[in-house]
Amino acid sequence: MKKILITTPIYYVNDLPHIGHAYTSVICDVLARYNRLNGNSVKFLTGTDEHGQKVENAALKKNIDPLKFVNQVSQNFFKLTDFLNLTNTDFIRTTQNRHKTSVQFFWQRLVENNQIYLADYEGWYSIKDECFFQEKELVKNGNNFVTRDGSNVEKIKEESYFFRLSNWQNNLLDFYEKNKDFIKPESRRNEVISFVKNGLKDLSISRTSFKWGIKVPNDEKHLVYVWLDALTNYITALNYPSVDQDFKEYWENSTHIIGKDILKFHAVYWPAMLMAVKLNPPREILAHGWWTNEGKKISKSLGNTIDPKILVDKFGADQFRYFMLREVPLGQDGDFSEKSFIKRINSDLSNSLGNLIQRTLKLHFKHFENKVQISLHEIRISQEILDEGYSLFSTIDKNIENFEYNKALEKIWSYIDKLNQYIDKQEPWNLVKEDKTKASEVLTLLIESFRLIGIILQPFTPESANKILNLLNIDFKEREFSFCRKEYCISKGTIINEPKSLFPRYNDQIS
């Protein structure tokens, strides 16, 4: 049994959750469930990033006290974990005391290790990105500078503490070299390496011009820079400042899943800071792509954000999860449209999978009452159809390790397609009239393959996977991946419940 930590970014509470947040969280949930089904002990962490100028401004704009504001907005992210069926084991909020203690201790360790000095910062700052920029990183928009992503920047000049990031350039490059899998996908790893090779400047890590944040120890007019505050959440949740055996074991197997826009913070600043306090960097970072809405960048100002709650209420959590995971490879950008959403879930979930299970179990129920009639060990026909099912698990393992969730689903569905071809070829609805034993054999083989599909789909579409396993009366203790072998096959006499529709079909003629 391995101890594994999986994390989402903590979400800014200046706004409501949208599909971008839901996407990162679902990816983490799949990995968490997958690892648990393989017998590992998984901590899955998510939460909210509640300090900084952006959040303070959002509260001021609403004329609400920042603490009251973050208490309200953070609830929306808490609800996200529920309606997406996330199996997180913790929900951290950076306004919690445990986190304040952890950040201030982390800061002290940086001071003790001579990693911090006081100076003046003069330069550009984007409140939207909570990020400092050098002028050469900006572009002109009319008379103003903006970031390459179009965020506004303002010139700031204030006293600031600096982290000696420039000292860590070689250690970072060494680390990337020795840990080739640290940043995935590879294209992102190359970007990070060339960013670091270009030279690192010391990083401003405190602010003095607003009030909402964690105070710098022994210098209360400074607030800890919100990114240092936020990144530390990952170790707060492991009980930092205590670094015990449990901490080390989870940290050694930690995965941060993030969007591509916040890679620099996670893959450059965070490992450097960790090394500076003599802790190891996390095991790996996956940077996923961004979603657009019908080809357009999703933004509040364009008014085209997509509320995941509305989609889940209308179509179901599994349908939402399936679409997001199946539609695009994780590292690439994806485009959302309700039309492609409905097309995908109708074709894969309702038609290929739902219909197959429905028609098989209906036939079984009608002609063989509610019991499996024959032991699988007595069946001599069509063994290859089962062998392929059993071997799915090892094939998919590699895909999950490489974050190729869409490929994993593609393989599961190509197996489902084969089962559809099999039933069409065998025509058990005719066989029952001519050769009832053979009909029972064909249906039993299909039922066993549904057991395998039910088990393997649990990380991706947990509710429907459990419905399938419930139809087959599979014991809860026998739903782990280790039961996907022939010796645990469905046994003669197992009660098969009357099938109910698993996935409704939606009208795809929307305007």
Structure tokens at 495: 């009660």
Are 155 and 124 in contact by the 8 Å Cβ rule? The answer is yes
Inter-axis angle of helices 405-426 and 436-457, nearest 10 = 170
Site for ligand MSP (CB under 6 A): which residue of 291, 323, 403, 450? 291
Q: Segment contacting ligand MSP (CB under 6 A): 257-265, 323-331, 446-454, 493-501?
A: 257-265
Residue 308: what are its φ and ψ, rounded to 5°? Answer: -65, -25
| Whole-Å CA distances, 234 to 9, 26, 79, 267 | 9, 18, 21, 14
Site membership for ligand MSP, residue 258 (CB under 6 A): yes
- Cβ distance 267 to 183 under 8 Å? yes
Close Cβ partners of 190 (under 8 Å, ≥ 6 residues apart)? none
Q: Which residue is nearest to ligand MSP (CB)?
A: 259
Q: Is 24 in the site for ligand MSP (CB under 6 A)?
A: yes
Given 90, 158, 249, 261, the residue binding ligand MSP (CB under 6 A) = 261
Does residue 23 interact with ligand MSP by CB under 6 A? yes
Taking the complex as a whole, the smallest distance from the CB of residue 128 to ligand MSP amounts, in Å, to: 9
Nearest to 34 by CA among 329, 409, 389, 416: 409
Nearest approach, Cβ of residue 27 and ligand MSP (Å): 10
Q: Is 298 in the site for ligand MSP (CB under 6 A)?
A: yes
252: phi > 0 → left, psi -120 to 50 → alpha, else beta; which? alpha
Task: Give the integer Cα–Cα distance in Å for 373 and 273.
Answer: 63
SS3 293: strand
Coil, helix or strand at residue 36: helix
Rg (C-alpha) for the chain, rounded Å, is: 26
Amino acid at 442: V
Residue 336 Cβ vs ligand MSP, minimum distance, rounded to whole Å: 9
Q: Which stretch binds ligand MSP (CB under 6 A): 17-25, 141-149, 204-212, 469-477?
A: 17-25
Q: Which is nearer to ligand MSP, 45 or 445 (CB)?
A: 45
Characterize the bridge pairing of strands 203-204 and 154-163.
Answer: antiparallel
Asked if 176 is part of the footprint of ligand MSP (rule: CB under 6 A), the reply reads: no
Amino acid at 33: R
Nearer to ligand MSP, 52 or 354 (CB): 52
Smallest CA-to-CA distance from 78 within 50, 57, 37, 42 is with 50
Stretch that binds ligand MSP, among 228-236, 366-374, 412-420, 452-460 (CB under 6 A): 228-236
Nearer to ligand MSP, 334 or 459 (CB): 334
Decide if residue 290 touches ligand MSP (CB under 6 A). Answer: yes
Per CB under 6 A, does 354 bind ligand MSP?
Answer: no
Cα 9 to Cα 45: distance, rounded to the nearest angstrom: 9
Output the smallest distance, CB 262 to ligand MSP, in A.
5
By C-beta, is 224 or 386 nearer to ligand MSP? 224
Q: Answer yes or no whether residue 25 interacts with ligand MSP by CB under 6 A.
A: no
262 binds ligand MSP (CB under 6 A): yes
CB of 233 to ligand MSP, least distance (A): 6
| 231 sits near ligand MSP (criterion: CB under 6 A) | yes
Residues that bind ligand MSP (CB under 6 A): 9-12, 20-21, 23-24, 49, 230-231, 233, 258-259, 261-262, 290-291, 298
